[in-house]
Amino acid sequence: MFAPLVIDAAGTPDVTFPPGHPGAGDDEYRMHRNEIAAAALAYRDGDPLPDIGYTPRDHDTWRRISAALASLHREFASTEARDAAERLALPADRVPQLSEASRRLEHLTGFTLRPAAGIVPLSEFYGSLADCMFHATQFIRHPSKPLFSPEPDMVHEVIGHGTTLASSRFAKLYRQAGEAARRAGNGTSLKAVSRVFWFTLEYGVMEENGQFMAYGASLLSAYGELQSFRGVEIRPLDVRDMVTRPYDVTSYQPVLYAAESLAHLEDFLGEFSSGVDGDTGDRLGLVPGEKW
Ligand SMILES: [Fe+2]
């Protein structure tokens, strides 16, 4: 449930929260979100990344979710992700600026972050990965629900994706997905790239010492799902099964896919990504126009 962002003729954004969204009815939070969206919309290539005036509520929310996730990562996150988090060394006591996280990532793996006001078109989002650039929102979830966000906020972008992008092995998989997306064009082949990305770099798990451990950014940044993912159906990696599986971004995933190891994941994604072209979607039986 991404809160829709309306942009008027003068380019001023206005975010609206649907009923049931934690921010519904909180005008102060809505104005803050509008300011953050406006900064992203004003951003142009080559500009310094905009610094956000985070509020005491934002910092408090970050502190709470950051501490909760850190303790879950010790139990449920893959070794590669935990090591990468240590290298990224995000602050736990305040919201980091996107510019800080981006500088750190650039130093570690060459990836940089770019501000996103809201949903970025798929071809642009995935294509940028080929240039080692990741589109990231800068807002923080509503303080009334610190352990849940209906949208990808800074916690998802930086603690989830930032952590994995701080690993040169995961960063290479993101880049390969971006190169595959560029070759895919804008039809069903891009859908295939997006689905495989979803079930690996967003929601993937891998075996480690007989346990399933999370490496996907969505799991690493989801307080509830990270504790419960071992109870869902976990299947071996399978491209055809992934790309034809309906999925719902608004609820817990009922099926996940496990790699046998990080090397197995690299082989699987390397083979898939390098083979993507404009006909991949057709070969996998995806139907143009079908909802995805
Ligand atoms: Fe994500």
Q: In the 3-class helix/strand/coil scheme, how is the chain assigned residue by residue? A: CCCCEEECCCCCEEECCCCCCCCCCCHHHHHHHHHHHHHHHHCCCCCCCCCCCCCHHHHHHHHHHHHHHHHHHHHHECHHHHHHHHHHCCCCCCCCCHHHHHHHHHHHHCCEEEECCCCCCHHHHHHHHHCCEEEECCCCCCCCCCCCCCCCCHHHHHHHHHHHHCCHHHHHHHHHHHHHHHHHCCCHHHHHHHHHHHHHHHCCEEEECCEEEECCHHHHCCHHHHHHHHHCEEEECCHHHHHCCCCCCCCCCCEEEEECCHHHHHHHHHHHHHCCCCCHHHHCCCCCCCCC
| Res. 290 pLDDT band, cuts 50 70 90 | low
73 is annotated as an active-site residue: no
pLDDT at 2: 67
Mean pLDDT of the chain: 94
Choose, from 78, 128, 221, 273, the residue flagged as catalytic.
221
Is a pLDDT exceeding 60 seen at residue 292? no
Amino acid at 22: P
pLDDT at 268: 98
Residue 21 counted as an annotated binding residue: no
Is a pLDDT exceeding 80 seen at residue 50? yes
260 is annotated as an active-site residue: no
Fold of domain 55-283: Phenylalanine Hydroxylase (1.10.800)
pLDDT at 79: 98
> How far, in Å, CA of 1 to CA of 151, rounded?
6
If you measure from the C-alpha of residue 279 to the centroid of ligand 1, how many angstroms do you get, rounded to a whole number? 26
Q: Which residue has the higher pLDDT, 85 or 187?
A: 85
pLDDT at 1: 59
| Res. 118 pLDDT band, cuts 50 70 90 | confident
> How far, in Å, CA of 104 to CA of 292, rounded?
34
Is a pLDDT exceeding 90 seen at residue 265? yes
Residue 161 counted as an annotated binding residue: yes
| Res. 291 pLDDT band, cuts 50 70 90 | low
Between the alpha carbon of residue 115 and those of residues 158, 185, 224, the distances in Å are 12, 24, 27
If you measure from the C-alpha of residue 156 to the centroid of ligand 1, how many angstroms do you get, rounded to a whole number? 7
Q: What is the mean pLDDT of residues 35-44?
A: 95
Choose, from 156, 167, 218, 273, the residue flagged as catalytic.
156
> How far, in Å, CA of 115 to CA of 39, rounded?
8
Is a pLDDT exceeding 70 seen at residue 238? yes
Residue 264 counted as an annotated binding residue: no
If you measure from the C-alpha of residue 138 to the centroid of ligand 1, how many angstroms do you get, rounded to a whole number? 13
pLDDT at 9: 80
If you measure from the C-alpha of residue 1 to the centroid of ligand 1, how many angstroms do you get, rounded to a whole number? 14
If you measure from the C-alpha of residue 148 to the centroid of ligand 1, how many angstroms do you get, rounded to a whole number? 14
If you measure from the C-alpha of residue 197 to the centroid of ligand 1, how many angstroms do you get, rounded to a whole number? 9
If you measure from the C-alpha of residue 99 to the centroid of ligand 1, how many angstroms do you get, rounded to a whole number? 18
If you measure from the C-alpha of residue 218 to the centroid of ligand 1, how many angstroms do you get, rounded to a whole number? 6
Q: Which two tokens stand for residue 183?
A: 């070759």
99 is annotated as an active-site residue: no
Choose, from 66, 202, 218, 225, the residue flagged as catalytic.
202
Percent of the chain with pLDDT over 70: 98
Pairing of strands 205-208, 211-214: antiparallel
Please list the residues that pair with 115 across neighbouring strands: 136
Is a pLDDT exceeding 90 seen at residue 287? no
| Res. 276 pLDDT band, cuts 50 70 90 | very high
Q: Could you state, in order of their start, the residue ranges of all structural domains in the chain?
A: 55-283
161 is annotated as an active-site residue: yes
pLDDT at 248: 75
Choose, from 151, 161, 179, 218, the residue flagged as catalytic.
161
| Res. 252 pLDDT band, cuts 50 70 90 | confident
pLDDT tens by residue, 194-225: 999 999 999 999 999 999 999 999 999 999 99
